[in-house]
Structure 1
Amino acid sequence: MELVQSDVTVVGGGIAGVCAAIAAARNGLAVALINDRPVLGGNASSEVRVHINGSAYQGRSPSYYGREGGLVEELKQKLFRHNPLYNQKIMYSVSDTVLLDMVYGEPNIALYLNTCVYETGTEGGRVARVDALQLASERKFRFVSPYYIDSSGDGAVAYQAGAQFRRGREARSEFGESLAPEEADAYTMGDTILFQTRDVGRKVPFKRPAFAYDVTKLSFFEDIRKGLRHRVIPRKVNGLGGLWWLEYGGHIDTVRDNEEIALELRKLVFGIWDYIKNSGDFDGVDPLILDHVSPIPGKRESRRFVGDYMLSQNDLTERPYFADAVAVGGWAMDLHAAKGVYDTGPATAWNFVPGLYNIPLRSLYSANVPNLLLAGRNVSATHVAFGSTRVMATCGCMGQAVGTAAALCVKYGADPADIAAEHIGELQRMLMRDGQTIVGLREELTPCFAEGLTVRASSRRAYANEVPGEAVSLEQPLCLALPIGTERLESVAVRIRNAGDRAETLRLTVLGGDRKENYVPGGELKRAGIEVAAGFDGWMTLDIGCGRPAGDKLYLVFEGAETLALSCNGEKPTGAVSFLYRPEEPAKLRKWEKSILFKNLLPAQHLYDPANIVNGYSRPYGLPNVWASERSGGREWLELAFATPKDVEELQLVFNPRLDLEHFDEPPETLVKDYDAIVTLADGSERRFEARGNDLTLNRYRLNVRGVVRIRFEFGGTHGSPYVEVFAVKLYAPEVKEKESPECTPNR
C-alpha cells in the first residue's frame, strides 16, 4: 500500500473532475486526481464520445449569450490545437490529448489513471482515506488529504462514506415540481452506447454477431425504424455518430446492473447496424463500416447526493437569488424515458428553462460528510433539476467551483459549509478572476486602479447595423432586440421595402424585457401600424416612445404582408440580436443567422464605448458591455492611462468569443488573433508582450511590476471579424488584502 498525501483528492476524471483538479492546482493546492479509466473526459472521452453541451443549449439559450466561460471555455478552445474537427456534427470525440495536456501542464496535479477506488475510510463522520487499486501495475494506493472531491459520477467515495443520497424520482409534492410524478419511484435515466461509422470508398459487407438482436423481430421495431427515419443516415466519414435515443436501464439499477445494461445495449447497437446495412431500406450505406462502438455505456444518472440545499425545478424556472452562487446552468430539463427504447413514450421531454440560472455552493457538498465536496452529475439536485444540471459543461463549471472552494478550505482550515457561510464573497471573486460566470455579479475594478483612470481607443463602433444586405419578407414575423442605455427610446430607423403595387401596413409591436441576462420578451408596451407606400425602398424612422429601466431591452416585433420586407445582413452587432418571432409562443424567440438593419436611435446610444472594458462585466448582461472598434481593416488600439503610477501583479484581457455558440468548427471570428501589449512604467521604460495566433477568450499576464502609468494594446487582426471587440481589461494589485479586494456586486 503506497501512501499518497495531498491537499485535496479528486476522484473521477470526467469534465467535472478535470476542472476541479485544475482549479485547485492553479490556486496552489497539491492535488491527487484519480480516474478509473485509461483516458480522461468521462462521457466526453474517446471511449464514450459525447459532446460537451451546457448552458448555451446548443445555441438555443433564451439568454442568447449563454456559454459558460472559465475552464470549460478554455478546454473547448484548446481543442482546435489538437483536434480541429471536434465540434462538427459528425461526432468526433473530445481530444483525450487536450485533457491530458491540461492536466500534465499543472505541476501541482499527480494523475492516477486506471485506478479504481474500492474502499473509503471515515473517522468521526469525515472522509479520512480513500484506497484504490491500479490493476495493470499491481499497485495499491491510500490517498489521504483533509478534503475530498467526488466527481466520479456514481459517487463512489460519497456512497462508501455514508453520504446521504437519492436515487430515482421525487414525488411532485415534495418540492412542488410540476414535472415530477405524483408518486416517488426508483426510475432514473438510462445509459447509451454510441457508435460511429466511416466511409471506406467501396462496398463492405456486415454480418450480425450471434449475440446481437434481429431488431426487426423486437416488439418496438417500428419505434426504432421511425427514429432512424428522423435522423438521415449520413453519406460521409464518421457518419452516424451514435443514436442518443438508443437508451436502456433506467428502470433497473444503473450501478449494480451496469454489465447487464451494457450487454443489452451492445445487442441493440449491432442489431440496428445490421438492419441499416442489410435491410435495403437505406441508400448509400454500402461503403460504410462500423468504425467505433463505445466499450462502455455512457451513463446519465445514478445516485444524487444530498447537500445543504437541493436544487429543484422551481430554482431553474424562477431563478431565486442565491447569495452563495458559484456556477451557472441553462440546459433544458431534458428528462429521458425511464425504460429507454423499451418505453412506449417519446425518448425524452425537452422542458423549457428560461435562460441561465445560478447554482449555489450549498448544493456542491455533502450535508452529512463535512469534508466532502461534490461535482458533476452526483450533486444535490432533484431528478427534475438534474435533467438540466447533468450536462458536461455545467458539470465542468461546478468542478471549477468546488476546486476553487477547496483552496479556501485549506486556507482557512474550514469545511465547505463554512466557506458558503463565511467566505463566499472571496470565493466568488476568485472564480470570476478565473473566468467563471455567475449571473448578476460584477467584478468591480479595485479603487486604486479606478482613481484617475482614463480609457481611450482608436475608434468606437456606432450602435447601428447599416451594412447593406438582403430584403427578408415579413411573411414570417421578425423581432429586433435592442439593449438600451437610457430610460426611454423615442425612435429608431429601419430599412424597409414594399415590393407590392399598393400601400401596405407595417405592424409594429414593442415589448418589454425579462431579466437582464435573457432575451425573452415580456409585456406589450405599444402597438402601432405604419403605412408603407407602394414601391417604397429606404430607411424609415419609427416612433417608439417607450421607456424601460436603463440597461434593459426593448423588443421590436415586425409583421406585415409578404410584399413587405426588412433589410437584413449577416453582421452580429453584439447585444442587438434579431430573431424569428413566433406569435403562438411569444416568449420563445427562434435564433436566426441574420440581423435586421437599424440606425439613428434617439436618444443616441453609445453602447460600444471603450470605458466598458472596466465596468465589471465580462459578457453581455443587460447592455453589451463591450468595446467595439469601427469596421476597419487597419490596426486598432486601446489604452488605459493612470494619473499616478500603479503596481500591477496581473493583467487580463477578455475577448468576445461569440458566447451565443455552443459548438464551433474553428476559433470564433470575433476573437482577437494578433496583438501587442505595451506596459509603460513611470521611468519611461516599457514591457512588451506579443500575442500571435491567440485562440483563447481569457488572456492572462503575470506582470509583477511597479509604477505602471500606461497600458496600451495594439491589435493586428481577428479570426475574421472586421471589428475588434474586448469585453474586459482586468487589473489586480500585488498582495491585495481581503478588505481591499475588488467586490463582486450582485445585480438582481
Structure 2
Amino acid sequence: MEVITMELIKADVTVVGGGIAGLCAAIAAARQGLQVSLINDRPVLGGNASSEVRVHINGSAYLGNSPSYYAREGGLVEELKLRIFHYNPLYNKKLMLSLSDTVLLDMVYDEPNISLFLNTCVHETGMENGRIKWVEGLQLASERKFRFESRTYIDCSGDGVVGYQAGALFRWGREARHEYKEDLAPEVADHYTMGDTILFQARDVEYSVPYKRPGFAYDITKLDFFDSIRKGLNHRAFPRKINGLGGLWWLEYGGHMDVIANNEDIALELRKLVYGIWDYIKNSGEFDDVDNLILDYVCPIPGKRESRRFIGDHMLSQNDLTTKPHFEDAVSVGGWYMDLHAAKGIYDEGPATAWNFVPGLYNIPFRSLFSQNIPNLMFAGRNISATHVAFGSTRVMATCGCMGQAVGTAASLCMKYEIDPAAIVESHMGELQALLLRDGQTIVGLQEELDPYFAEGLQIRASSQRSYANPHPTEALPLEKGLCLVLPIQTSVAESVQIKIKNISEHSETLHVKLFGGERKENYIPSCELKDYRLAIAAGHDDWITLDMGCEKPADDKIYIVLEGTARLAVYVNEEKITGAVSFHYKPEAPSRLKKFNQSICFKDLLPPQNMYNPENVVNGYSRPYGLPNGWISERTEGREWLELSFASPKSLDEIHLVFNSQLDLEHFDDPIESLIQDYDVILTFEDGTEREIVIRGNYLTLNKHKVDAQGVTRIRFDFCATFGSPYHEVFAVKLFAPTTISEGQVKSQ
C-alpha cells in the first residue's frame, strides 16, 4: 500500500479559513508582501457568503439603518462588495451566486503571494515552547497531506479549530450578567449559543410542478411551533412572495446543544424542517402562486452562527459597543445591532431574536484579535475575544472581514520586526493604524495627516464647487409626522436657514420647530435640545420661510432641525442626495432610531455661509463624512470637472490614492452607485514642463491606487470625465505617498 507523503509548505503567515474574514486576512497580508498559505476546508471561498450557504455580507451599515448613516465599511470589504456587484449585479437578489465564488477566487488568484489550499481540513496543530510550530491539513480528494509552517497563524475557521488544537483559552455560551456588567446577559451563565440555519432557494419554472414530501421530513403541521409561524408570531413569518425566496433565517436550531459535536444531528434536523416547510408551502393551499415553484437549491451544510470565542487581552463587551470608550489600539469597526437569537431556534417559545440597539459605529481593539496565551496566534471572524452579547453584533461577515484585514496587516509587522502581535500594541500601533487607513480601513476618529513633505506650499484648486444648498423642490411632504433636516456646520455658530413650506389649509397652521445638537461626530443622533419654538404659517402660504437658529456649533458639528405640523402643512423635498446634509423621519419616542425616507428637505441661504465642499477638504485626513462631509464636490455638470494640486517645489512621488463617494449609507445596492467616478485622467507635470498621463476608464471602486514612482513632480491634475449617473463629481480624499526614505506620514486620533 502506498503511504501518503507529507508535503512541507512554508510561508510567512498561515491563514486557516476561507470565509470573508480569512479571505481579507490573506489578501491584506499578501499585499503587504508576505507569502501566505490560505487553507479552506470547503471547495469554494466565502464561508457563509458562498454559493453553498448563501448569506448576504451584512455589516456596520445595519441594512442601511445605522444611526451613523455613512456606516458601510471601507477597505477590503468595500472592494469585495463592489467587485461582486460589478461582476454579479444579481448577487443581492440571491441569484447567480456561483459568480460570487468566482469573484472571490479571482481576488485570491490575483495575489501571487497567496498559495490556496481548498478542500483541505486542518486536523492537527503542533506546539513548541507554547507556540504554534505547524498545522497539518488533509486534502482527501487528492490524497495529499500538508504540514504548514510559518511565523504567525491566523485562525479564521469560525469554530476556531487551530486555536482549540493549540490550547488557546476560549469561551463557550453566555456569560453571567455580573461578569461584564451587561444588562442583556442572563443572570446565570450557561452553555447556550446561537443555532444554525439551512437556507434554500425557490424558483418559478413557469409550469406546474407537484411536490411530495420525502419520508424523512416532518409534517410541520404536527409540530408545536406550527401555529406560531402560521400566524407570523415572534418574528417567524412567511414572506408574501415565495418566488425567489432565499430561505428563512429564523429556521434555526441547535444553540442548546454542542453545535460542533452535534453538527450532523443539527444538520439532519434542519433538513427535516426545510423539506417539511416546503411541503407546507406547496401543498397546504394557504399560499398563492406556488404551483410553478420548485425547491431549486437546499444548502448542503448549515450556516453556523456561534461556537468557540477565544480569549484575548481584551474581551469586547456590551458596554464597549454602547458607550464606545476610546481604544488606543482600534483597528476596525462594527455597528450591527446586538442581534441575539433564541438558543433553541424554531423550537424556542420566545422571539426568534432580539435586535438590541447599537448607537452607530464602534471601534474594535486589536487586543481582541490575538490570543492571551498562544503568542503567535491571531484570529478574526466569529471566534474573536468578545462576550456572547457583544458577539451578537461583531459576528456579521462584513465586520469579520474588517477584522481579517486588521490581523492580515498586523502579520506584516510581526514579520518586519520579528515580534508577536502583543508587541504591536506596545510599540507599533501607530504604524499598524497608518497601514490600515492607507488601505481604506474604517477606524472611527482616526485622521491621516498629510505628510509635511507635501503639505508645505501645497495649493489646491478645482474647476467648480457645489454650493451648500438644495434649492430645487419637486414635491411637498405633509408634516403630521415629524421630519428632521440635519445640517453639518463649519462655523462656530449657525444663525438661520430657509426652507420652503406649503399650507393647503384655509386657516393659519402652526409649524413646530425644534433644534437639537449631537454628541458624536460619526452619528446622526439628535441628543440635546437647543431651541424650541412655533411659527404661524398663513393660510395658502406656498413659499420659502426663514428659520431662526442662533445656535453654537454642537460637539458633533451638526444642527438637527425637527419640523412638526399637521397633514395640511407640508415641507418641500426633492430626490437629491447632498453629502453630509441628511433628512429622515423624526421619532420622538426613539430619536436615535434613524429612519430614512430617501428624499432630502430643500434648504438655501444658510447663514453664515458655509464653504462646505472646498477642494482643500481632500487632504484633511478623512476619507468619509465624520461630523463634516469632508470632501470636494463640483457644481452640477454634464461635462468634465477637474481638481489640481500644485507644489511650491518639485516632489518625489511614490503613490497617489483617490477615494470617491460610493454612497456609504447603503448596505447593499442593486444598481450602479451613481456618485462613483468611472472615467478620469491623472496628469503629472514635472519641473522640466513635461507631462505623464494615466488614463482610467470603467472604474467601479471607491479606493483607487496609482503607483507612479515619479521624481520632480510640480503639479497633479485630475480630469474627471464621467460618473455612473450623478451630475456631481465627488472626491473624499487624495492621498500622496513619498518614497519611504522621505515620508513622514502620521495618524492622529480625534
State whether TM-score is above 0.5: yes
Counting only pairs closer than 5 Å after superposition, residues 588-627 of structure 1 correspond to structure 2 as 588-627=593-632
Matched residues in 2 for 1:648 and 1:19: separation? 28
The reply on whether 1:370 has 2:371 as its aligned counterpart is: no
Out of 728-737 and 43-52, give the one that drifted further.
Answer: 728-737
Of the three residues 234, 237, 240, the one matched with 1:230 is: 237
Of the three residues 377, 382, 390, the one matched with 1:385 is: 390
Q: Are the aligned partners of 1:648 and 1:703 in contact in 2 as well (CA < 8 Å)?
A: yes
The reply on whether 1:50 has 2:55 as its aligned counterpart is: yes
Matched residues in 1 for 2:242 and 2:352: separation? 25
Q: Secondary structure at the match of 1:198?
A: strand
Matched residues in 1 for 2:172 and 2:29: separation? 29
Q: 1:561 offset after TM fit, Å?
A: 1.7
Distance 1:83 1:241, change over 3 A: same
Q: Are the aligned partners of 1:310 and 1:382 in contact in 2 as well (CA < 8 Å)?
A: yes
Matched residues in 1 for 2:735 and 2:82: separation? 21
Matched residues in 2 for 1:341 and 1:599: separation? 53
The reply on whether 1:251 has 2:256 as its aligned counterpart is: yes
Matched residues in 1 for 2:232 and 2:401: separation? 31
Q: Are the aligned partners of 2:518 and 2:556 in contact in 1 as well (CA < 8 Å)?
A: no
Aligned residue for 2:496? Answer: 491
Of the three residues 723, 741, 745, the one matched with 1:742 is: 745
Aligned residue for 1:475? Answer: 480
Q: 1:226 offset after TM fit, Å?
A: 3.0
Distance 1:100 1:90, change over 3 A: closer
The reply on whether 1:500 has 2:505 as its aligned counterpart is: yes
Superposition misfits of 4+ residues, deviation over 6 angstroms = none
Q: Are the aligned partners of 1:149 and 1:373 in contact in 2 as well (CA < 8 Å)?
A: yes
Distance 1:560 1:81, change over 3 A: closer
Out of 523-532 and 35-44, give the one that drifted further.
Answer: 523-532
Q: Are the aligned partners of 1:49 and 1:91 in contact in 2 as well (CA < 8 Å)?
A: no
What letter matches 1:566 in structure 2?
V
Aligned residue for 1:172? Answer: 177
Distance 1:90 1:46, change over 3 A: closer
Q: Secondary structure at the match of 2:652?
A: strand
Give CA deviations for 1:354-389 in whole Å, capped at 9, x if unaligned: 000000000000000000001100000000000000
**Aligned pair count?**
743
What letter matches 2:248 in structure 1?
L
Q: Secondary structure at the match of 1:436?
A: coil
Matched residues in 1 for 2:240 and 2:90: separation? 19
Q: Are the aligned partners of 1:496 and 1:565 in contact in 2 as well (CA < 8 Å)?
A: yes
Matched residues in 2 for 1:592 and 1:164: separation? 47
Matched residues in 1 for 2:122 and 2:231: separation? 42
Of the three residues 180, 193, 197, the one matched with 1:192 is: 197
Aligned residue for 1:422? Answer: 427
Distance 1:550 1:707, change over 3 A: farther
Aligned residue for 1:529? Answer: 534
Q: Are the aligned partners of 2:638 and 2:727 in contact in 1 as well (CA < 8 Å)?
A: yes
Q: Are the aligned partners of 2:452 and 2:744 in contact in 1 as well (CA < 8 Å)?
A: no
What letter matches 1:230 in structure 2?
A
Out of 305-314 and 710-719, give the one that drifted further.
Answer: 710-719
Aligned residue for 1:214? Answer: 219
Q: 1:549 offset after TM fit, Å?
A: 4.4
What letter matches 1:745 in structure 2?
K
The reply on whether 1:150 has 2:160 as its aligned counterpart is: no
Give CA deviations for 1:490-547 in whole Å, capped at 9, x if unaligned: 0000011111101111110001112000001111110011111111111111111011
The reply on whether 1:297 has 2:297 as its aligned counterpart is: no
Q: Are the aligned partners of 1:82 and 1:97 in contact in 2 as well (CA < 8 Å)?
A: no
Q: 1:92 offset after TM fit, Å?
A: 5.0
Of the three residues 123, 131, 138, the one matched with 2:128 is: 123
The reply on whether 1:338 has 2:343 as its aligned counterpart is: yes
What letter matches 1:634 in structure 2?
G
Q: Secondary structure at the match of 2:91?
A: coil
Q: 1:91 offset after TM fit, Å?
A: 9.3
Of the three residues 441, 444, 451, the one matched with 1:446 is: 451
The reply on whether 1:347 has 2:352 as its aligned counterpart is: yes
Matched residues in 1 for 2:312 and 2:60: separation? 22
Aligned residue for 2:101? Answer: 96
Counting only pairs closer than 5 Å after superposition, residues 650-729 of structure 1 correspond to structure 2 as 650-729=655-734
Matched residues in 2 for 1:635 and 1:575: separation? 24
Q: 1:258 offset after TM fit, Å?
A: 0.3
Matched residues in 1 for 2:644 and 2:193: separation? 55
Distance 1:339 1:567, change over 3 A: same
Q: Are the aligned partners of 1:199 and 1:235 in contact in 2 as well (CA < 8 Å)?
A: no
Of the three residues 329, 336, 340, the one matched with 1:324 is: 329
Matched residues in 2 for 1:290 and 1:186: separation? 35
Give CA deviations for 1:198-256 in whole Å, capped at 9, x if unaligned: 100010011111100000111111123234983324254xx110000000000000111
What is the percentage of aligned positions where both structures have the same residue?
69
Q: Secondary structure at the match of 2:346?
A: helix
Q: 1:83 offset after TM fit, Å?
A: 1.1
Q: Are the aligned partners of 1:90 and 1:240 in contact in 2 as well (CA < 8 Å)?
A: no
State TM-score, norm by structure 2.
Answer: 0.98
Q: CA RMSD in A?
A: 1.2
Unaligned runs of 5+ in 1: none
Out of 162-171 and 582-591, give the one that drifted further.
Answer: 582-591
Q: Are the aligned partners of 1:325 and 1:438 in contact in 2 as well (CA < 8 Å)?
A: yes
What letter matches 2:467 in structure 1?
A
Give CA deviations for 1:401-455 in whole Å, capped at 9, x if unaligned: 0000000000000000001111000000000000001000000110010111111
Q: Are the aligned partners of 1:485 and 1:551 in contact in 2 as well (CA < 8 Å)?
A: no
Distance 1:662 1:37, change over 3 A: same
What letter matches 2:746 in structure 1?
E
Q: Are the aligned partners of 1:456 and 1:639 in contact in 2 as well (CA < 8 Å)?
A: yes
Matched residues in 2 for 1:589 and 1:128: separation? 49
The reply on whether 1:312 has 2:317 as its aligned counterpart is: yes
Q: Are the aligned partners of 2:503 and 2:538 in contact in 1 as well (CA < 8 Å)?
A: yes
Matched residues in 2 for 1:224 and 1:130: separation? 45
